[in-house]
C-alpha cells in the first residue's frame, strides 16, 4: 500500500505486528522492520499522511516483542495522528516514546460489534455454564482457569472455545483438562451462526486477559446476554458500564469464584437490567458512530492547513 501508484493520501497503520507473521528469526524480523521503516520514511518525506491506531501493548506472540517496540517508536515519530481507544493506550505510548507531541493524540473508542454479528441476548435461555471465548493463546494462561475449575467449580460446565494457531498449546490444554467431563475445549474457528448457541448456554463469560489495552471479546460479550466476569483493571472499568463492575475479580481463585457465584445468584430481573446496561454501552459505541468520527479525523489529515493545529474530534453524546 505504501508504494502504490498513485501513492495513497493517507496510510492507516493498525495491527502492525502482523508484519512479522511467519517470521522465524530475529534476523528476518530486523530485515522486515528496516524495510518497512524505510518505506514509511520515504512516504512521509513525499508529503504522505500517517495515522496509527494503537491496538495492543503486548503482541499476540512473545516472539520479537523488542522489535515490535522499536518499530513502534519509529511509527510514533512518523505519525501525524495517533488514535487511542482508551486511557491506558496513552500511558502505554509514554513507555514507547515519552517525547511524542501530545497534539497527535486522538481518542476513538473501540466500536461494538452490533452491526458485525447477529448475536443478541436471549432472555429465555437456560444459562447453566461458564464460557471462555476467544483465541487460544499461551499468554492468556488458560491452564490457570482449568485448574480453577477443577478446584472450585467442578460441577459447573465450562466451555473454552476459540481458534488457535498453536497446536502444541492446544494439546497442553487438552492434557490439563483430561478426565474432566465438565470441560469442553473447542479449538476451532467459531462461525458467526454458532455464537448464539455458545452464549445462550452461558451464565457468564469469563474474560481472562488482565494486562490488555483492548478486548474485542469484551465488546462482543456486551451483546451476548451472559454476565461478563472480568479482571478488575482500569481498562475494564473504562469500557464496561458501572453495573458490570460488581462482577470484576482480582487475579486469584477466591476472587474469581466470588464473581462467578454472584453471576449465578443474579435474579431474573437483575439479569435483565444488567444486560440492558451492556446493550446501551454497545449502542453508544456502535460502528457507524465510530466510523464517522474516524473519517472526520481522516478529513482533518487531508486538510493541509488543519494538520498543523488539528482540532480534537469528539463523539457527540447520544
The residue ranges of the chain whose pLDDT is under 70 are: 1-5, 59-63, 304-318
Q: What is the pLDDT of residue 305?
A: 42
Q: What is the pLDDT of residue 63?
A: 67
Q: What's this model's pTM, rounded to 2 decimal places?
A: 0.88
- The answer to whether 280 and 121 have CB atoms below 8 angstroms apart is no
Q: Where are the alpha helices (DSSP H) in the chain?
A: 26-45, 65-78, 87-96, 142-152, 167-176, 192-201, 216-221, 234-239, 253-265, 268-284, 287-302, 304-307
Cell of 165: 494457531
d(CA 160, CA 141): 12
d(CA 7, CA 4): 5
Q: What is the pLDDT of residue 315?
A: 54
What are the pLDDT digits (tens) for 119-136? 999 988 999 999 999 999
Measured in residues, the chain has a length of 318
- The answer to whether 199 and 223 have CB atoms below 8 angstroms apart is no
Q: What is the pLDDT of residue 280?
A: 97
Q: What is the pLDDT of residue 7?
A: 76
Pairing of strands 248-249, 105-107: unpaired
Q: What is the pLDDT of residue 134?
A: 95
Amino acid at each position: 500500500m505504501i508504494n502504490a501508484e498513485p501513492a495513497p493520501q493517507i496510510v492507516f497503520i493498525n495491527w502492525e505486528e502482523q508484519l512479522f507473521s511467519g517470521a522465524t528469526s530475529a534476523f528476518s524480523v530486523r530485515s522486515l522492520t528496516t524495510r518497512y521503516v524505510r518505506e514509511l520514511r520515504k512516504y512521509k518525506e513525499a508529503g504522505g499522511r500517517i495515522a496509527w491506531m494503537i491496538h495492543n501493548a503486548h503482541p499476540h506472540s512473545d516472539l520479537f516483542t523488542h522489535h515490535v517496540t522499536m518499530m513502534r517508536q519509529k511509527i510514533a515519530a512518523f505519525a501525524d495522528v495517533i488514535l487511542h481507544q482508551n486511557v491506558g493506550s496513552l500511558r502505554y505510548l509514554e513507555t514507547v516514546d515519552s517525547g511524542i507531541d501530545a497534539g497527535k493524540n486522538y481518542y476513538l473508542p473501540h466500536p461494538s460489534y452490533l452491526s458485525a454479528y447477529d448475536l443478541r441476548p436471549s432472555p429465555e435461555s437456560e444459562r447453566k455454564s461458564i464460557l471462555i471465548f476467544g483465541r487460544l493463546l499461551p499468554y492468556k494462561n488458560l491452564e490457570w482457569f482449568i485448574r480453577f475449575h477443577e478446584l472450585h467449580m467442578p460441577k459447573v460446565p465450562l466451555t473454552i472455545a476459540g481458534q488457535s494457531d498453536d497446536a502444541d498449546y492446544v494439546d497442553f490444554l487438552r492434557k490439563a483438562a483430561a478426565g474432566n467431563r465438565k470441560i469442553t475445549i473447542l479449538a476451532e474457528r467459531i462461525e458467526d451462526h454458532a455464537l448464539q448457541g455458545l452464549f445462550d448456554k452461558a451464565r457468564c463469560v469469563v474474560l481472562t486477559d488482565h494486562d490488555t489495552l483492548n478486548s474485542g471479546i469484551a465488546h462482543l460479550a456486551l451483546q451476548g446476554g451472559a454476565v461478563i466476569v472480568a479482571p478488575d483493571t482500569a481498562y475494564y472499568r473504562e469500557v464496561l458500564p458501572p453495573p458490570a463492575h460488581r462482577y470484576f475479580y482480582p487475579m486469584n481463585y477466591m476472587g474469581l469464584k466470588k464473581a462467578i457465584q454472584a453471576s449465578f445468584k443474579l435474579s431474573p430481573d437483575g439479569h435483565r437490567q444488567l444486560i440492558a446496561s451492556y446493550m446501551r454501552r454497545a449502542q453508544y459505541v456502535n460502528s457507524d458512530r465510530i466510523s464517522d468520527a474516524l473519517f472526520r479525523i481522516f478529513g482533518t489529515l487531508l486538510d493541509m492547513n488543519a494538520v498543523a493545529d488539528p482540532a480534537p474530534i469528539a463523539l457527540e453524546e447520544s
